Amino acid sequence: MRWLAPSILCLLWEKPTHGYNLMGALPELGFVDGGVDAAAVYRTLNLFEQQGLVSSVWDTSGSGAAKKLYTLTAAGKTELQRWWQVMREQRDTIDCFLHRLADLPDFIDQLSQSRK
């Protein structure tokens, strides 16, 4: 999932949470088709922790086994802001290309016909 990294950062900016909760919330962002790869989520969280983008503490509240509670750090916020800029630039490039396609003679007409 190409958008896993910024998606995790976004969700952690909203609130600290456990990895399991992240997996449940990721599809809401619209970048996941089907199930979430749990191993990829935890690999990304571990990498983020090594890079100082997130921190974690063991949450022993509640019943059951202790779980890691992940929190976004200041460096993680900066990284998400960098992602935001990259995505805006990509969106602008895609928008420019889509406008160019739309200006091609008969492009939209043929596109509409192919959808029937």
Domains of the chain, first to last? 4-114 (1.10.10.10)
Structure tokens at 72: 């976004």
**Per-residue confidence (pLDDT) for residue 116, from 0 to 100:** 66
Separation CA 34–CA 1 (nearest Å): 11
The series of mean pLDDT values per 10 residues for the chain, 116 residues long, is: 88 96 92 84 97 96 90 98 94 94 86 75
**Per-residue confidence (pLDDT) for residue 11, from 0 to 100:** 97
The number of beta carbons lying within 10 Å of the beta carbon of residue 36 is 17
The residue written with tokens 């939209």 in the block is: 108
Structure tokens at 99: 């406008």
